[in-house]
Structures are given as structure tokens and as C-alpha cells.
Structure 1
Amino acid sequence: MNSLIDVHAHWLPRELFGLPEGAPYAAMHDRGGELYLGEVPLSIATDAMSDVAAILDDMRVKGIGMRALSAPPFAFPLTAGERNENYAATFNSALAEQVSRSDGRLVGLGMVTLGTEAAATRQLEELAATEGIRGVAIPPLLDGRSLDTGVLRHVLTEADRLDLAVLVHPMQLPRPEWPDYYLANLIGNPVETATAVASLLLGGVMEALPGLRICFVHGGGCAPWLVSRWAHAWKARPDVRRASAVAPDTALRTLYFDTVVYDGPQLELLRRVAGKDQIACGSDYPFDMAEPDPARFALDGGLEAAELVAAAVGFLGIKGE
């Protein structure tokens, strides 16, 4: 198990806990060793998010040989401006430094500001030129739009051009119908991700960018359970298929997904709809919704170590290393 690669884990240095301008939640902060997001307790130790030594120790315990680190999603800089560009640059530089000191155990998925296409392109080009950075992490939604239009579509186009992997992570956006019981996460995150998968497939993005390496966390959210519905509608309705020439259930098998689905039958469904070669081990470290034993869960769920590693290597673009 010590050769598995975890493609979904989070890290943020303490100096960036203030979060970027325009973030949907208040700043992160420490209270007696516990991490808070505004007044919301995150149920994790502060060091688990900010201390790379804690991350490496968790990898040793959990049987993970390599881990791809990205920022927690509420740290994504959604708007333009000098402050957010500086925030992204500081994170990317700190991430690259930690990766360089990890003896190959860590790789990085950086961030870009999402206010303008020009700024995103400039920052993506910087990521592509940075040692140890394999790609970029982005949200599934931005200003009510998803991956088929606007700045997010531009980021995918540029990532494809620059041979960068793209990790899509939901932001747990607050909505009035989900104020209690953590529903913004329990329902909101899977719905955000499914919206992005549907927009990507029905918008013909993968047909336009066949070389794009893109991974959806939490097993693709609701998408594996909805793709047959999308496929039926694609055949039945011209408006559903107007932007795509490939049925969504076929196109979905070109995407990558992680294993953070918590249950064996759900992992089996993901394997059937996505294909075993497209599923990589994920943990969602260090959050309370993380899979507690990611390597064991993936292997006990019927996936082979070689399959999991091959999917992670393919997604991250690791070649002959």
C-alpha cells in the first residue's frame, strides 16, 4: 500500500489563513489548537492543515507514498485584483518550496485568480514553469457559471495547452435551503460537482480538449448516479445534445475521479460508470469528511494498487519518474 498516490489532500500555510478577498467564508484561525472557519469549527487540528510534517506523518500511517497537495477550496481566489494575485503567488511559491523539500513524497496543485482570463493565463504559465507543480485546483462554479463557459472554461483550455492537470473541488457554497445539519457540505458539495461534470460533458468541452486531464473529487459527487439520466435526455432532447456529439455516459469515461465515496457499493458504481483506469486514490485530508483509511478503503473496495497508481500517474502527468 505504500506506493499509492493520494490526489486529493489539502494544505495552507498559516500566513494565508486570512483567505483571499471575496472568499465566501470568514477567515480561518486557530483556537487552542483547533481550526475554525470564521465561527465554524472544522473539527481538525490546526497543524493538520498547516504543518507539512503532520501531512507526511499521516501518509506514513495511512500507507500513502505520494500526495498531491492543493489549497482548501474556501482559499480559492475568485476575484481579480492585486491582493488576490499576491495571495495566489504566495501560496504557489510556498507550495513549490514544500514540494522541493519532500524527497518526492509531495507534488503540488497550485491556484490562480479567477477574475480575468488574462491573469489566469499568466498564472497558469507560471505554474507550468514551476518545478514540482503538476496542475491547478479550481472550483466547479463561478458567478453562477460552470466549466463550459467563461473564465473556468478558459482555465481548462489553457491547462490543456500547458499540460497541467486540473482538480475540481466544490466550495460548499451557502444556500438558504441548507442552513442546518451541514447540508451545504452533505448535499451542496456533491451537487456542485455534478453540475460541473454535466456542464463539461454536455458542453462538449472534452471533445474540444481531448487531452485535458481533469479529476473530480468525492467520486464525482452525484454524477455517477445521474449520468444515465443525462444519457437518456441526450438521446431524447435536441437542446440537451446541442453542444456535444458524444453521449455523456461515454464521455464520462475520459474523466478522472477519486475514491472518497465512503461505501463499497458506491465505489463499485463509480468503477462501472467511469472505468477502473480512471479512479485514483483520494483522502480529502485533513477534513472531517476525509476517508479515514484511504488506501485500505480503495483496495478493499476491489480496486487494484496498480490501477490506482496508473490513474494517479495519468492524471498528474508523471512520466518516467
Structure 2
Amino acid sequence: MISAPIADGVIDVHAHWLPAELFHLPPGAPYGPMQDRDGALYLGDIPLSVPARAMSDVGDILTDMRTAGVGVRVLSAPPFAFPVGAAAGTDAYVAAFNEALSAVVSDADGRLVGLGMVSLDDPAEARAQMEQLAGTDGMAGIAIPPLLAGRSLDQGPLRRILTDAEDLRLAVLVHPMQLSRPEWSHHYLANLIGNPVETATAVAALLLGGVKEQLPRLRICFVHGGGCAPGLLGRWTHGWHTRADVRRHSTRPPDEVFGELYFDTVTHDPHLLRLLTAHASEDAVVCGSDYPFDMAQSAPVRFATGHGPAAEALTSNARAFLGL
């Protein structure tokens, strides 16, 4: 719930924050703990190429916003911190993060907005956590992964979370987890290919699974420009028209529903951003940065406004996504 006014300017809906006391990550996390090694941030033994302070220090975040021309930044946990393991202690980790994030955004004079996390493996607990977030000023919704235990947004726990989010009028940001596969073990392909594929899988599951048709008030945003989805939308739509098994769970073709979703501008490619805007319409594109990672969009506002919607449209779209 956001009852107090937020600051003016372009809203960056895709940025990450995690307090240093939660760098250990939730129980059952598939990666090693995050660590501050002499000021550099590591995930297990993997260097993340960013200063640890950039992830945890609010002053650094606000300084970066001024440099980037961002008026408001929406903070969510880095995907490594998503509680994907059903382990004791998960609920406590989620509560600690949501409480810490709420405190940060409430003390930022409307320049920061929060997206909390939920216990993904426990629908009843997730509902209770979302009810609390819906009543917490400065918290606009939740961030979730696109895949969980081999299923996506059209079934299982993630589908139930979307139902509750719509009911509670919470925004949902979907962020990939950089899941590894043997063929992606080199050249950073787990990120460069894996992240866009994870996101495209979730978009397809939502469109072809009829989720948006069943949850028309759901406000959901996919980061990294929807991953591969803009380039595959034509193929999905062709399949929907030609195969009964593709359209079994939906009543509208994917290209009709695509514009009812939100997508951020972190594409690293002006041509892809233009394609995304053409498919989704200018009403569905919001500014993102992916701060503070090395794969962040350089000069996010300049890139977004130079190759996508104008600043006024980006801000209006983000306000609509956040439920303002």
C-alpha cells in the first residue's frame, strides 16, 4: 500500500537491495551466501563485479539515482535471495527482509518504494505475508521468480500467489534466478541466455495458460524486456491458431493479451526495445535499471526515453503498475 505521495520523476521499477545482515540468504538457497570481501560482493566464490555497499547501502542507491536521473526507485531483493527452498527458517528470513525494506522506504521521503518477498512453498503463509504487505505503507507488491520446482506461473504455488496478489491488489515483479544448466556452464551463459529464457517461459505460461484472462486485475511486470518473449510472440500466436493443444487453456491469442502485461526497458538493444514497445504498446513499458549488477542498463532513463516511450509515459505506466 502506498498512501503517502512519492517523489516526482521517472520511476525505476527494477532495482535490488539487500541489507548486509541478510547476505547469508534464506535456508535452502541454491547458491552460496553473499559475502562482502574487502568491499567486493561475492555470491559464494563467484565475484559479482559490484561493490558490496551498492547492494546494501541506501545512500549509495540514492546517489546512483541522482546520477541516473531517476526520481523514484522500486527496490526488491536480488534473485539469489528468493526463498525457493522449503526449509525451516524461511518464514523468519522473509519477515526480516520485509521489515527491513519497509523501514528503508518509509524513511526515504517518497524516493523509494518496496516490493517484498513471500514464502514460495507455503501458500497459507504467503497469503498472510501478502496481507501484511498490503497494509504496509510504501510497499507496493512482491517480487517472485518465474519458475519454481519445474513449474511456472500457470500452475502450482506461483499460480496461487498470483491469485492472492490480484485479490490484494499487489503489484508482481517477475525476476529470473539465473538457473544453471550444463550447456550454460561457460561464458556466463546462465545469465546471458538463461535469464531471458526463464522470463520468456513465464510469459508464455501466463499467456497460454489463460492466467491473465482469469485474473484480469493482475498487475504483473517482467524484467529484462520480457527476455526472449518479444521475439517469440509471433511464433506463440501462430501456434495458438494452428494447434488445439496450444490454445486449450486460453480463449484469446497471445498477441491480444501481451499488451496487458508490463515490461521493463532493460534490453541492452534499441531495436529490441522498439520491438517490445510495438508489441506491448507504450502503455505497458516501464523504466528499469537492474541496479546494482554489472548487467544493469547503462544510463537507464536516457536509454528508455531515447528508444522507447517518453519520460511522462514511463512514469505514468509505472504508477499504474504500482497501483498509484
SS in 2 for 1:9: strand
Q: Match for 1:299: what amino acid?
A: T
Is 2:204 the partner of 1:195? no
Distance 2:217 2:285 in 1: 17
- Cα deviation for residue 174 of structure 1 reads 1.1
**What residue in structure 1 maps to residue 92 of structure 2?**
86
RMSD: 0.8
Q: Is the 1:79–1:113 Cα contact (8 Å) retained in structure 2?
A: no
Distance 1:237 1:55 in 2: 48
Q: Is the 2:28–2:87 Cα contact (8 Å) retained in structure 1?
A: no
**What residue in structure 1 maps to residue 102 of structure 2?**
96
Residue of structure 2 aligned with 1:315, choices 289, 308, 321? 321
Aligned pairs (5 A) from 1:1-321: 3-318=9-324
Distance 1:228 1:31 in 2: 46
Distance 1:196 1:107 in 2: 24
Of residues 200-209 and 298-307 in structure 1, the stretch that sits farther from structure 2 once superposed is 298-307
Q: Is the 2:179–2:190 Cα contact (8 Å) retained in structure 1?
A: yes
Distance 1:302 1:40 in 2: 34
Q: Give CA-to-partner distance per residue, 1:207-252, whole Å, 9 cap, x none.
A: 0000000000000000000010000000000000000001001111
SS in 2 for 1:64: coil
Distance 2:21 2:284 in 1: 36
Q: Is the 1:220–1:257 Cα contact (8 Å) retained in structure 2?
A: yes
- Cα deviation for residue 313 of structure 1 reads 0.4
Distance 1:265 1:80 in 2: 41
Distance 1:72 1:95 in 2: 13
Of residues 58-67 and 114-123 in structure 1, the stretch that sits farther from structure 2 once superposed is 114-123
Distance 1:167 1:242 in 2: 26
Distance 1:189 1:302 in 2: 22
Q: Match for 2:271: what amino acid?
A: P
Of residues 281-290 and 126-135 in structure 1, the stretch that sits farther from structure 2 once superposed is 126-135
Q: Is the 2:29–2:82 Cα contact (8 Å) retained in structure 1?
A: yes
Pair 1:302–1:217, CA change in 2 (3 A): closer
Q: Give CA-to-partner distance per residue, 1:99-146, whole Å, 9 cap, x none.
A: 010000000000001112111111111111111100000000000000
Q: Match for 2:106: what amino acid?
A: S
Gaps of 5+ in 1: none
Q: Match for 1:63: what amino acid?
A: G
Give the alignment's TM-score, normalised by structure 2: 0.97
- Cα deviation for residue 81 of structure 1 reads 4.4
Q: Match for 1:4: what amino acid?
A: V
Give the alignment's TM-score, normalised by structure 1: 0.98
Distance 1:123 1:48 in 2: 27
Distance 1:316 1:20 in 2: 26
- Cα deviation for residue 79 of structure 1 reads 3.1
Gaps of 5+ in 2: 1-7
Q: Match for 2:61: what amino acid?
A: I
Distance 2:74 2:60 in 1: 15
- Cα deviation for residue 156 of structure 1 reads 0.2
Number of aligned positions between the proteins: 317
Q: Match for 1:39: what amino acid?
A: D
Q: Is the 1:7–1:69 Cα contact (8 Å) retained in structure 2?
A: yes
